[in-house]
Structure 1
Amino acid sequence: MGSVPPSGHPVDDGHPHVGGSRGEQPRGGGGGGRMAGLDAARALAIIGMIMVNVGPRGEEGMVGTLYDVPLGRSSVLFMLLAGVGMSIMTRSSLAGGRLPWGTIVWRAVLLLVGGLALQMAGHEASVILPLYGVLFLVCLPLLKAPTWLVAGLGTAATVVGPLIWLSVRAGADAFRVKEPTLLDSPAVILDDILFSGSYPAVVWAAPFLLGMVLGRLNLRDPALRRRLVGGGAAAAVGAFVVSHLLILVFGEPGQTIGWDRLVSATAHSQMPLWLISSMGAAVFVLGLSLLTEDVLARRLPALVAMGRLSLTVYVGHLLALAAFVRPGPDSLAAGVLVSVLLIGVSIVFAWLWTRRFRTGPLETLLRLPSRRS
């Protein structure tokens, strides 16, 4: 996390899609500078997304169930952290400072175009980067808005967003989604990002806006960190339990998207209870990472380094899937092995890279406007 130095320009928190390291070393909770807890949370989100994207998913047994835990949750955590980073990056603008809109627009375009191009690779995964690009542009008018307004819009997105998505997607197959690519027309790309893809913006704006609210708080406050852990856990478990109670009463939703889907907390169901549960889990992980960041910075510096290079690692694992893994893996054992290898290589690479360089390979592209200025 970044603090606001005397110059009035915010120090980037290191998030690949929002801010970027400027050479500051990860620190614990005391004093200013970069927060190791945020980087560790990003690393955990990336690890979960690697497991989900490697697959296979839906395998039976305890191991299969545990392997599927990150499904839908790690990407929500990644999105929430994007909102946190955006607020940290633009914090000085709330006090009358200059809004770095040029940098934000540059990153939005780069992530949108790059993500659409990356979707064409043969990794067989859903790329989340185009959604980042769209939300970066959409959030520009909110960066100087009062916190109560951002929180209100986030609450509305949690409830109204799924209803809008249901209205648009009613009657469609729940298991058929359309991922946008650079070869599609602008109208198709917009429809896919807003409604038809794995990450419909009309729904996924909720964790991003929640992250923006959290990024405006004092994340160094130990009491706040404890509240994040407790409140996040309560929301994650509570919404999941409510969903199962409703399913016992009304039955399982069908494969065709309809209003019976409102009871679902299944991953990527895009429904309010799933959003609340997944955002609760994300807040829990964030709070726990911040609460233990002193230990993480000392004992697990390689994990923290992975979080600093999260964009590079995210893109790298998709290219590795396309080049070396697909088609497959065909069994849970093979999926676990591939995931462990990719995660291990990513952690070692990030640790070695950050010992020599200040900024990750792809993260450097996001910082070009700020470096020039």
Structure 2
Amino acid sequence: MSSQRKTSTKRPPRSGAQRMLALDAARGLAIIGMIAVNTGPRGDDELLEMIYRVPYGRASLLFVLLGGIGVSLMTRRSREQHAPLPWVSLLWRCVLLLLGGLALQELAHDVSVILQIYALLILFSLPLLRVSGGLLLLTTGISALLGPVIWIAVQTQTDGRFDRDPVSASGPPWEIFTGIVLTGPYPLIVWAAPFVLGLWLGRLELTDSRISTRLIIWGAAAAVAARLLSALLVAAFGEPTTHMAWERLFSAVAHSQMPLWLIGGTGSAVFVLGLCLKIHAWSHPMVSPLIFLGQLALTAYVGHLLILAFVVRPGPDTLVQGMIASTWTVAALMAFAWLWRKRFSRGPLEVLLRAPRLSRRPR
């Protein structure tokens, strides 16, 4: 009997648990990528820095893609068993992330906070949580192809008056809304594409090795094809001269809000997700810091903004300084996540994502 118990404790985690560990690992990688990009430095074209900044325009897309998968998994019971949607929990997350993101944008970290768009993407997704998979893919395509066209059209009609400034609490409500939906650094009309694709991916049997193989193949194909097509179109029609030039649609430059960047960057995110799902060693203690970082993603994201605002800025000035600052920031957040998870099941900010229950008074 005792030998059977010892053997059972060494069994690999069940497929559902393995999938969650893979998603946690991918989320941890997204956090590390955003830390590296947000820490900087920026603007240098040296080869080493270009390699260091590979996550630029990709880590945030991976983060949003995983957000869509998370919402899809969160509402699976409502979709498959026709149970009521967790409206209170979803709306609570929207309000919490929106207000928190607006407040965090006021800090001097020189980062465009992503939490505001994350909040409105959850709100935007509510009518889509029970629609067919085909309609989700159609919505993804509309956002990826028409969103950038609308973005440029608004630039043209307004003579480029909006400059993609981050959305903060100091602005009036109308500017906050239009900034998140259209004119900010993460316009919803464009960024809905990776989030809704995540809603669709969350419906797949991600524990199936054939699915992870397809994600790797199709993700890599999309990433490479988008870059090659952009290079060919730019060579044929020239580089766009302004944000209002329609040739901008050919660009694959990170955060250009253009279709080829969006397709290529989202393809990279799908590729990373497929790789994480393919790996079955996430339960090993050696990788637990990465897993715990992904499980405390909101806490880690907010933590890195505080570190940037109060410790790192106004630097770094060189690539070496940036790499050192990024490394110790990641190490500090991993250590905190590891220590916290040894005692608590949820992160300090992750606990807040749970909507408070209003208990009824006994009669």
TM-score normalised by L of structure 1:
0.89
1:368 deviates by: 3.3
1:372 deviates by: 6.9
**Greater Cα radius of gyration, structure 1 or 2:** 2
**207, 211, 221: which one aligns with 1:220:** 207
Structure 2 distance, partners of 1:371, 1:229, is 44
Q: Is the 8 A contact 2:141 2:193 kept in 1?
A: yes
Question: Within 5 Å, which residues of 2 pair with 1:24-103?
Answer: 30-33=14-17, 35-95=20-80, 96-103=82-89
1:211 deviates by: 0.3
| 1:233 matched to 2:223 | no
1:91/1:371 Cα in 2 relative to 1: closer, same or farther (>3 Å)?
farther
1:69 deviates by: 0.7
Instruction: Show the counterpart of 1:112.
Output: 98
Question: Within 5 Å, which residues of 2 pair with 1:96-245?
Answer: 96-170=82-156, 171-172=159-160, 176-245=163-232
| Partner secondary structure for residue 32 of structure 1 | helix
Structure 1 distance, partners of 2:67, 2:127, is 16
After TM superposition, the structure 1 stretch with the greater mean CA deviation from structure 2, 58-67 or 35-44, is 58-67
Q: Is the 8 A contact 1:169 1:195 kept in 2?
A: no
1:352 deviates by: 1.4
Identity %: 49
- Structure 1 stretches of at least 4 aligned residues deviating more than 4 Å after TM superposition: 370-373
Instruction: Show the counterpart of 2:233.
Output: 246
- Gap regions ≥5 residues in structure 2: 1-10
| Partner secondary structure for residue 93 of structure 1 | helix
Instruction: Show the counterpart of 2:6.
Output: none
- Give 2:147's aligned amino acid: G
Q: Is the 8 A contact 2:98 2:115 kept in 1?
A: yes
Structure 2 distance, partners of 1:256, 1:282, is 26
- Gap regions ≥5 residues in structure 1: 1-26
Question: Within 5 Å, which residues of 2 pair with 1:314-333?
Answer: 314-333=301-320
1:67/1:202 Cα in 2 relative to 1: closer, same or farther (>3 Å)?
same
Q: Is the 8 A contact 2:219 2:268 kept in 1?
A: yes
| Partner secondary structure for residue 245 of structure 1 | helix
Structure 2 distance, partners of 1:256, 1:275, is 16
1:228 deviates by: 0.3
Structure 2 distance, partners of 1:257, 1:51, is 30
Structure 1 distance, partners of 2:357, 2:293, is 23
- Give 1:114's aligned amino acid: G
After TM superposition, the structure 1 stretch with the greater mean CA deviation from structure 2, 309-318 or 131-140, is 131-140
CA-based RMSD:
1.7
**328, 342, 353: which one aligns with 1:341:** 328
Structure 1 distance, partners of 2:72, 2:12, is 20
Q: Is the 8 A contact 1:253 1:261 kept in 2?
A: yes
| Partner secondary structure for residue 110 of structure 2 | coil
Structure 2 distance, partners of 1:199, 1:328, is 24
Corresponding pairs, count? 345
